[in-house]
Amino acid sequence: MNKNWMKTLGSAAVAAALVVAGCSSNGTGNADAESGSGGSVGAAVSHKIIGIDPGAGLMAAADRAVTDYGLTDWTLVEGSSAAMAVALDKAVKNEDPIIVTGWTPHWMFAKYDLKYLEDPKKSFGEDEEIRTVARLGLKEDAPSAYAFLDRFEWTDADMAKVMAAVQDGQEPAEAAAAWAEDNAALIDGWVDGIEPGAGETIKLAYVAWDSEIASTNVVGWVLEHRLGYKTELMQVEAGPMWAGVAGGDADAMVAAWLPVTHKDYAEQYEGKYEDLGANLKGTKLGLVVPSYMDVSSIEDLAD
């Protein structure tokens, strides 16, 4: 009963009540909590992993981890990037234990002292990159936009600056514009020798993941301010983002995490999109905890 009930938990108040209930169950025969055989982390966080939007590849990977490590009593809580960040912020302020699904690049590693739990079974994969994916035919229909998208590549340090500005309260478009003005030389290289477009509208699909909010707004800025296009930034869920590019409703996205995280989407739409290669290398995904927690590996979570 516990498990299904936990899945439906929405409010912090109910969650807090559950923690209390979890503690009191110590005295009423909760074998895990009483066994002392490594169940303490699970009990401390009510056997919950705070996830993000259900369409994220990170959630599929976290589900895989739950299976791979035998975390049978655990619940992966669905929500959003923003809700995860709020829960993490609250926990860190109170020095409460918490486990979240996290990824790099992300501003949270600069703001808080965090660590990834080791993943010896590699449920979260390795050697991933963020790629740019265009719809079939974009090359012919908007060659200048295509040429720039094909060339676009930056670093996690670049992305982190835009993400941090958004986190500090700037509108994403403003943060992107400010970053672009500070990095004009880099952008010169991205557009060097590319003729401006004819004012067509380029539709960029993205999901409200902090990293992709940053990249999509920067790419939109370059298309508009350096290449003469109009842009439409379409914020959608992960599935519709891939479906949009594959079906031609969106022109491109800079949010394809491959070869692992978006593998299912990439396979589903194989042959219906063009992979323009990496726009950022050196990413990472996993379960993330505050450094003050005395746990180092996902293996330690199994009761």
Binds ligand PBE by CB under 6 A, chosen from 92, 252, 285, 293 = 285
Q: At what angle do helices 172-182 and 156-167 cross, to 10 degrees?
A: 140
Chain residues 149-178 in contact with ligand PBE, contact rule CB under 6 A:
none
Q: How far is the CB of 172 from ligand PBE (least distance, A)?
A: 15
Question: Closer CB to ligand PBE, residue 209 or residue 273?
Answer: 209
Binds ligand PBE by CB under 6 A, chosen from 146, 148, 179, 209 = 209
Assess 103 for contact with ligand PBE (CB under 6 A): yes
Q: How far is the CB of 61 from ligand PBE (least distance, A)?
A: 7
- C-alpha neighbours within 13 Å on the C-beta side of residue 49: 27
Question: Closer CB to ligand PBE, residue 147 or residue 207?
Answer: 207
Question: Closer CB to ligand PBE, residue 39 or residue 125?
Answer: 125
Question: Closer CB to ligand PBE, residue 149 or residue 238?
Answer: 238
Burial tier of 224 (Cβ tally within 10 Å: 0-12, 13-18, 19+): middle
Measured distance between the N- and C-terminal CA atoms of the chain, rounded to whole angstroms: 19
Sheet bearing 75-77, strands edge to edge: 75-77, 48-50, 100-104, 284-290, 114-116
Nearest residue relative to ligand PBE (C-beta): 58
- C-alpha neighbours within 13 Å on the C-beta side of residue 112: 24
Question: Closer CB to ligand PBE, residue 43 or residue 59?
Answer: 59
Draw the binding track, 83-102, toward ligand PBE (x: CB under 6 A; -: no contact): --------------------
Query: Mapped to the 3 state alphabet, what secondary structure does 32-72 carry?
Result: HHHHCCCCHHHHHCCCEEECCCCCCHHHHHHHHHHHHCCCC
Chain residues 221-280 in contact with ligand PBE, contact rule CB under 6 A:
238, 257, 261
- Encoded amino acid at 166, one letter: V
Q: How far is the CB of 26 from ligand PBE (least distance, A)?
A: 35
The Cβ of residue 27 has, within 10 Å, a number of other Cβ atoms equal to 9
Chain residues 17-56 in contact with ligand PBE, contact rule CB under 6 A:
52, 56
* Count of residues in contact with ligand PBE, rule CB under 6 A: 12
What are the distances in angstroms from CA 241 to CA 42, 65, 67, 129, 229?
35, 25, 27, 18, 21
> How many angstroms separate the most distant Cα atoms in the chain?
73
Question: Closer CB to ligand PBE, residue 130 or residue 295?
Answer: 130
Going by C-alpha positions, the residue among 219, 192, 189 that lies closest to residue 203 is: 219
Q: In the complex, which residues of this chain contact ligand PBE (CB under 6 A)?
A: 52, 56-58, 103, 209, 211-212, 238, 257, 261, 285
